[in-house]
Amino acid sequence: MKIALVHDYLVQDGGAERVLQAFQEVWPEAPTFALLHDKETMGSSFRGKDIRTSFLQNVPFALKHYKWFMPLMPTATEHHNLAGYDVVLSSTSAFAKGVITRPDTLHLCYCHTPTRYLWSDMHSYVNEIGLPSFLRKLVPMMLTDIRVWDRLAAERVDRFIANSDTVNRRIRKYYQRGSDIIHPPVETSRFYIAPKIENYYLAGGRLVAYKRLDVVVKAFNKLGIPLKIFGEGPEMKRLKASASANIEFLGRVGEKQKADLYAKSIAYIHPQEEDFGITAVEAMASGRPVIAYRKGGATETVVDGVTGLFLEEQSWEELSNQIVRFDPTQFDPKVIREHALAYDTEAFKERIREYVESSLKEWHGEESGCGFADPKFRESEARNFALSGTGRR
């Protein structure tokens, strides 16, 4: 089996890139096709890997201002030459699903979410893109054309894999396609249970608007309780300006420091709606309870009253009420960590390997006597099962 990996672009380090790294560990000889690779930003994450970029790599300013070149990305994606591969495994929340493959090539797409700025988050994206106001007025027209391409690109995929049931439902809504669910990998071995917790709550990740850390800052401003926030992003300046002295912004932290922060916190605050929510699982791998908004991926990973508690609305009042009543002694760190181990990276790699191999057998008709060339193959809920270790859906 000759397999190629395809990723949108390597310009920031996040959960999608952890998935790609797991793919590369399963298939170390497979090349990775990406629109762009910012080696300086990505550091050692993909050093020594066979990364094959598009013509955008050599366009001036594309690495630092990649969003400006969005109109060229569909064409650049279609120019990836995948003619020599039996299987293409794409990892995408944007363009990679639109690669063109031979008729006899199996294209499996691990979808982190249907493209947010085209579908679910279009209006907020237009305001956040960072363009001058006169250019922002042109963005909706551009997105309309790309949205049409994105919908057609989804038809090129032979089988979708969703990273959560939340994303599965989005795929069904926006692409009218079924998907199988394999939760993304979490390196649970990096995290540990501390013998003693300290006096602070924790939040963090990429500091972007949809994470709703503004709600957390406002709540802790009112409460005066210590809060630590790790991570960087465009919201950093605004959040810092509104925060009181009891809130500490740590910026980008190393893996060891992050593990220590999780392990010694009272609880982790997760106020956003995520596709999956890796930071919440990392906190649970550290034995710490999660206070999460009851929407999105957290509803699949957090067990109410066992590994955390839920917020019913994204408001500082709701969060403040939960914090005031919160009793960390009600939670057993060992039980919380044991729950998180189901999402371990090694378990993910085994599931994705088995999935690709069994899909290729079906594609060649070795199991059923026929392939699944119909792009809407197995869309019924009865066949939409979770491979995350949590049972069938």
Question: Any idea how long the chain is?
Answer: 393
Mean pLDDT (whole number) for 170-174: 95
**78 pLDDT higher than 90:** yes
pLDDT of residue 209: 87
List pLDDT tens digits, range 183-226: 999 999 999 999 999 999 999 998 988 899 999 999 999 999 99
- Cβ atoms 241, 247 nearer than 8 A: no
Hey, what CATH class is 3-185+346-383 in?
A: alpha beta
pLDDT at 40 over 80: yes
User: Helix or strand or coil: residue 103?
Assistant: coil
Is the per-residue pLDDT at 371 higher than 70? Answer: no
Quote the tokens at residue 369: 């006597």
Q: What mean pLDDT comes out for the span 337-344?
A: 96
Residue 284 is given by DSSP the state H
This prediction's pTM = 0.83
Write the DSSP symbol of residue 299: H
pLDDT at 381: 39
SS3 52: strand
pLDDT digits (tens, 9 = 90+) for 232-247: 988 999 999 999 999 9
Cβ–Cβ under 8 Å, residues 268 and 280 = yes
375 pLDDT band, cuts 50/70/90, is very low
Q: Which residue stretches of the chain are H helix? A: 15-26, 39-42, 73-78, 122-128, 133-136, 139-153, 165-175, 213-223, 236-242, 255-264, 278-285, 298-301, 316-325, 333-340, 345-363
Tell me, yes or no, if the two domains 3-185+346-383 and 188-342 fold the same way. Answer: yes
Domain 188-342 has CATH 3.40.50.2000: yes
Confidence of residue 122 (pLDDT cuts 50, 70, 90): low
Question: 179-181 and 87-92 as β-strands: parallel, antiparallel, unpaired?
Answer: unpaired
CA distances from 209 to 37, 69, 228, 273, 367 (A): 25, 22, 18, 11, 47
Provide the CB-side half-sphere exposure for 10 (13 A, CA): 29
Record the tokens describing residue 49, joined without a space: 């890997």
Strand-strand pairing, 159-162 and 106-111:
parallel
Q: How far is it, in rounded angstroms, from Cα 118 to Cα 98?
A: 15
Domain ranges of the chain: 3-185+346-383, 188-342
pLDDT at 14: 83
pLDDT given at position 392: 34
pLDDT higher at 307 or 140: 307
Model pLDDT, residue 379: 41
